Amino acid sequence: MNPVQKTYCRVYQNILHIALPFLPYRKPEILPSIFSLSHLFHSKQINTVLLITDQSIRSFGLCTPLEKDLKENGIQCVVYDKTVPNPTSDNVEEALALYHQHHCQALIGFGGGSSIDCAKATGARIARPHKSLAKMEGILKVIKKIPPLVAIPTTAGTGSETTLAAVIVDSKTRHKYPINDFPLIPQYAVLDPYLTKTLPASLTATTGMDALTHAVEAYIGNSTTKETRADATKAITLIFMNLAKAVNDPGDLDARKNMLEAAFMAGNAFSQSYVGYVHAIAHSLGGKYNIPHGYANAVILPMILEAYGDKATKKLAELALISGASRDPDEKIRAQGFIDAIKTMKKTFGIPDTFKEIQEQDIPYLASQAAKEANPLYPVPLEMNAKELESYYRALMEVHNGNE
């Protein structure tokens, strides 16, 4: 990236950083159980809600107790269950039509980050009926208040239950983009470890590493605050202590509770301090090839941390001490020890280093999408343009490592 571009990015980021204390960030109110919702809705005189989820969650019966409880308490629960792993603009429009058709008064996002993001984007369309989702890409494009939103995560990873972001794929172009605005922060988050108990080991691992990516990228960026550093370090500590336990023993509810807390804390951290090129690359791959976001982050994370080099050494060395990954007195060795601990985590969970989906002819487009998302918004340790990012896509190609 040339000096003029770098200067523009840093000035943009510094202005946002200075503005942080004055922006209306808030944390959702945490509810311990889905059975808290009927009382909540009655207190707000809400009698019809739209529950947004996916077919897998619905088929597993995870929504059934909530649907039954709401019905028994006189609250109509309309269900949209066609959300796909990377939610699309078509998903949002279908959910929006149901919301208006049944005169709903509130939204519930029930599931992984995809369902919660779909609920957020539906709220944005309700608030701004004459504005397309594409026109709300970026930051502060929603502005108006959305209907009451409850987020119920069934994975411990995305942090979507506490963030101001919704990530959507355009159904026609397959462009994947974030919508960031304060009204999208859910008013309530239900953190119930029982809802994550049936999550397969592979998804427990990749969603947990998704939360780790959020916390690490927030911590090593240039827009941290005392509060976001505290949230990020707590999340990283909890993940290093509990993720393997949750993967190996699905019934360990303490580990699952701690992972939900970690995901929540990591979400708080990156909501204010943003993420980096790991996310930008992962979003481009999710949009083009429908690769699950948590899985993509898990594959990419150590490669980009190494790419930052000396620009991230000090903070990665701090994380090595915090996580217990390394206590070597040499800062560089300690930083590499933290990255190596993530690599070991990946290997233990069977997460590869490459993607079979990436095609050489797609790389310029993918890199341009990642650069467009990240620059100038993300306060990364080392700025890179689209051309510089292309090499990392080639490193992520399965054929690159001879693994055809």
Q: Convert the pLDDT of each residue in 303-358 to its tens digit.
A: 999 999 999 999 999 999 999 999 999 999 999 999 999 999 999 999 999 999 99
Q: DSSP state, 324? A: T
Q: Evaluate whether 339 touches 306 at the Cβ level (below 8 Å).
A: yes
Q: Residue 399's pLDDT band (boundaries 50, 70, 90)?
A: low
Q: Evaluate whether 121 touches 170 at the Cβ level (below 8 Å).
A: no
| Cα→Cα distances 257→192, 323, 366, Å | 7, 19, 36
Rounded (5°) CA angle 159-161-164: 85
Q: DSSP state, 85? A: S
Q: DSSP state, 107? A: E
> In angstroms, how far is CA 306 from the centroid of its own chain?
22
Q: Residue 378's pLDDT band (boundaries 50, 70, 90)?
A: very high
Q: Residue 401's pLDDT band (boundaries 50, 70, 90)?
A: very low
What mean pLDDT, rounded, does the chain reach?
A: 94
* CB burial of residue 98 (10 Å; 0-12, 13-18, 19+): middle
Q: DSSP state, 131? A: S
Q: Evaluate whether 331 touches 314 at the Cβ level (below 8 Å).
A: yes
pLDDT on residue 404: 45
For 33, list phi and psi in degrees, rounded to 5: -155, 150
Q: Residue 16's pLDDT band (boundaries 50, 70, 90)?
A: confident
Q: DSSP state, 209? A: H
Q: Evaluate whether 360 touches 397 at the Cβ level (below 8 Å).
A: yes
The residues, ordered by sequence, that sit 6+ positions from 275 with a Cβ below 8 Å of its Cβ are 213, 214, 217, 218, 221, 378
DSSP strand pairing (76-80 vs 48-52): parallel
> Residue 224 corresponds to which tokens in the numbers above?
């941290």
Could you report the per-residue pLDDT of 194-209, keeping only the tens digit for each?
Answer: 999 988 999 999 999 9
pLDDT on residue 273: 93
* pTM, to two decimals: 0.91
Does residue 50 have a pLDDT over 60? yes
Residue 176 three-state SS: strand
The residue among 156, 169, 330, 317 whose CA lies nearest residue 247 is 156
DSSP strand pairing (76-80 vs 188-190): unpaired
Q: Residue 179's pLDDT band (boundaries 50, 70, 90)?
A: very high
Q: Please name each of the domains of the chain with its CATH number.
A: 3-21+199-396 (1.20.1090.10), 32-196 (3.40.50.1970)
